[in-house]
Chain A
Amino acid sequence: MPNSRQNSGTRRRLPASGPGQSNARASIRSERLAAPGPSARPGGGRTVVEFRSVSLRYPSGDKGLDQATFSVERGEFVFLIGSTGSGKSTVMRTLIKELEPTSGTISVAGRDLSEISRAKVPYYRRNIGMVFQDFKLLPNRTVYDNVAYALQVTGHSRREIRAKVPDILRLTGLSLKLHNYPDQLSGGEQQRVSIARAFVNHPPLLLADEPTGNLDPDTSIDIMRLLYRINRTGTTVLVASHDHAMVNRMRRRVLELSGGRIVRDEATGLYVRDESTREFAQRLRNPPQAPESL
């Protein structure tokens, strides 16, 4: 991460994890975030995601994560950045229990993930929305059925599905594409479907792994705007991205990973909490020449 790009915020290098550190960071952050007002932090600061010195070594010997420690509070919008192989996806995959850490503990909403048995993993995953770079839609299903599948899995009745799916598709702007198959949609539209599917259960936590990696800048902004809109409903959103320009313009909290270590954790300047999605999108399209970004 070149220094010139960084905002002045509360930039800190984390030398190594240690006790008391998360408290130190939290106090720095709350200082910054005090500005918009006391109601700025929905959920009263309950921790949704907590990594405590998590290390993961792949069977091939590669390091996935190395003593990663961080926490995310409810309602936050957090970017995970870093170059390829820095461990962004590993964080995502451990969060949905696709991978098990070699050491350290991960808790989500206060629950230690290592205590969830294999049989219970599906039930756990229903509380997490997941968006991928390659969309991961079911190719044999229409837009409607792709979204409905997430509800069928959780045992919703047909009536509930019929009520909820059109709602979420309207929110994501797909009302006219209901009966199209994924291969008949553009990349941006497919990503919208996958976001709709991730959010239809209203999960408290939404993970997006390079959601704009395959999309052009304009479409990327639309997708980010959609994620922000979801964030504003109170959902905690964690986005992995390598698009530094976009991340800087978003002005949200940034966690940077390198070689599996957390090397930066900052709440970027001008973290505007009560911004409307329209203002948000406008700012993304025309970045203000704020002194911090120079």
Chain B
Amino acid sequence: MKLGFFLKEAFRAMRRNAAPSFAALAAIAVTMVVVGVFIPIVQATQGSANGVRNQVEVDVYMKTSATRAEENRVRGELLGISGVKRVVFESKAQAFAQESKSDPAAYALLSSNPLPDTFHVIPANPANALAIRSAILGHHGKLLDPAIQNVSNHTSDTKKVLEVTKLVTITAALLAVLLILASVLLVGNTIRLSLYARRREVEVMKLVGATDWFIRWPFVIEGVLVGAIGSLIALIILGVMKVALLDPLAGNWSLLHAPQTIPFLWLVVILIGAGIGVSALGSGLSLRRFLRV
């Protein structure tokens, strides 16, 4: 009975205050469209940045004369270096097969395999790559193990990759924070405005002896409804955009690099949740100052 009453009150308020309700609804819808576009973009950026970072590794080339025993010893030594996540061994034959795949004609001309056995040392954190490399190189040109021929030299590349990806990550995070702040302020302000128009009503309710929550519930429910409808409108717009623009393009993008982004269903859940949450919370909290009668 109570819930029914509150629901009826919320619907009545929306019907009788159509203009402010519409303003709040539009604010939520616009905000959610922007957020909905931004989440996959941030994710794609982060994904690409992480993809690049994860390719950072240190390659250790063995002497061609290295024996199986030496190789096992070197593997143990490499794993002993702090910050190493794992060590992947690639034999001469595997390396040859791998390389010849990319250019079969060129490799077919070779009579013997020029490639050495290789250890790919993958750091736990890409930022450690350079420290690991200097540990393998040792001091004064004395390598970690005599069986090691050489260590890959990508110092400057690794540095650049690390710096750029860090910058991209920070920028994206900053933008996301700003966007969320802007949307909360926009929605909050719109709700305040619509409540301000009804502050007299709240005052009267208090004088009649309504408790704070008796007054607040219809406003919160109205917030939930406005948030839900606004998010739904945003989702329809996003869905149309996805089907009309993104899906045809996706075929072309996959040639370059298909960024792993959020599944659409999750996006739907997050947007509706956020829309309802912000709107209901905004209504409930903004009402507080009008309740002090």
Contacts and interface: CB of A to CB of B under 8 A. Distances in A.
B251 interface: no
A130 interface: yes
A140 B16 contact: yes
Most buried by A among B203, B204, B214, B293: B204
B201 to A, nearest CB: 6
A233 interface: no
A127 B214 CA distance: 17
A264 to B, nearest CB: 29
A149 B293 contact: no
Which size class do B's interface residues fall under? 20 to 34
A56 to B, nearest CB: 17
A7 to B, nearest CB: 34
Contacts of A137: 204
A149 B16 CA distance: 16
Nearest to B214: A153
Contacts of B205: 138, 149, 153
Interface in B163-216: 200-201, 203-212, 214
B148 to A, nearest CB: 76
A138 B209 contact: no
A145 B212 CA distance: 20
Given A98-B293, A140-B12, A153-B214, A125 B1 contact: no
> Does more than half of chain B's interface fall in helix, strand or loop, or is it mixed?
helix
Nearest to B208: A150
Interface string A134-178: 001111110000000110111001100000000000000000000
Interface residues of A, number: 23
Given A140-B12, A140-B13, A140-B201, A153 B210 contact: yes
B206 A138 contact: no
A197 B209 CA distance: 12
A123 interface: yes
Given A140-B201, A157-B1, A122 B206 contact: yes
Contacts of B12: 140-141
Contacts of A139: 200-201
Contact of B208 (A98, A123, A125): A125
B209 A150 contact: yes
B266 interface: no
B16 to A, nearest CB: 4
Given A98-B293, A158-B1, A153 B201 contact: no
Interface of B: 1, 5, 12-13, 16-17, 200-201, 203-212, 214, 293
Interface of A: 96, 98, 119, 122-126, 130, 136-141, 149-150, 152-154, 157-158, 197
The 10 closest A-B pairs by CB, nearest first: A126-B209, A125-B209, A140-B16, A153-B210, A122-B211, A136-B204, A122-B209, A150-B208, A153-B209, A153-B208
